[in-house]
Chains A and B, each alone.
Chain A
Amino acid sequence: MVERQSPLELAPLEPELRTGSHGDFEHGIDVILSETRPGSILQLAAWPGQEKKLISGIRTVTGLALPDGAGAGSTDGVRSVFGFAPGKFTVVDGAEGLASAFANVVTPAIGTVTDLSHGRTAIRIAGPKAEWVLAKLFAIDFALPAFPVGAGRSTMHHDVFAQIQRTGADQFDIYVFRSFARSFWKALCHASEEVGYEVQ
């Protein structure tokens, strides 16, 4: 696979990803922002009636069991999976090459595997004010009972489509189109200023 360049570090004169503390950090850092740069981001879709086979194929390849229900998911810290639409799942791996691992498991009779590794940018927000900051950007319920750990949501911010997975009690991974990653990152930084944030 060709080597990837982060869209957040493309412009050498004005990189958007500036590590360090920003905003109102003198009163504490309440969120940490980072780009997770997974090696593989896949979209898997089952043909009608083939969803159970696809879910068992995901378990075979990733070792992750998908809980029942719309938008359910799970993560082990390296690999993550969540439903984002009926019969459709996002599967992420820190390592490259996940698509070829699925090649013999998700056969054409079961569904499709689409490799989006180069098309999405993964941004993580973590910390006690992560829910607070995201609630300013997205009109969905981020409270833990409504949005449990592992679950995923498809939504949008100002027409920029986003998939969000809760990967910890106070941690979310956001997948945005690569071409919108810089502007979304900027909006996320602005939204985080009032709580104090650190870029890692």
Chain B
Amino acid sequence: MLITCPYCGPRDVIEFTYQGDGNRERPQPASQNLDAWNAYVYDRLNPAGDHNEIWQHSGGCRAHLKVVRNTLTHDISSVAFARGDHKAAARHKAEGKA
């Protein structure tokens, strides 16, 4: 499986660290909404298909990335910086090939 890092280009998955489900929304730290915390910690969509994920290019530029991966085919259809302000530095468009 290859992930095309927006900064580094296509790299083997071994250079990346999975940082979890990208659909979660973390409640404000002071929040006492137990349902919201429960959903953040436990609820997962677990789709058979495209899945929003957070990965870190830990063996490369160390950027955190928003990745859409197909859980059936490992096809990567989209990669973007998790922090949105590095568009100028991007060299590689996501090629969507797993």
Contacts and interface: CB of A to CB of B under 8 A. Distances in A.
Interface of A: 48-49, 51, 69-71, 83-88, 139-141, 153-156, 159, 161
A8 to B, nearest CB: 24
A116 B60 CA distance: 18
A159 B12 contact: no
B1 interface: no
Interface of B: 6-9, 11-12, 14-15, 59-63, 81, 83, 85-86, 88-92
B59 A85 contact: no
A71 B91 contact: yes
Nearest to A140: B11
B85 A49 contact: yes
Contacts of B15: 155-156
B61 A154 contact: yes
A85 B91 contact: no
A71 B60 CA distance: 11
Contact of B81 (A83, A86, A153, A161): A86
Given A154-B62, A161-B59, 18 more contacts: A51-B88, A70-B7, A70-B90, A71-B8, A71-B91, A83-B89, A85-B60, A85-B61, A86-B86, A87-B86, A88-B61, A140-B9, A154-B8, A155-B8, A156-B15, A156-B59, A156-B60, A159-B59
A139 B89 contact: no
Nearest to B5: A70
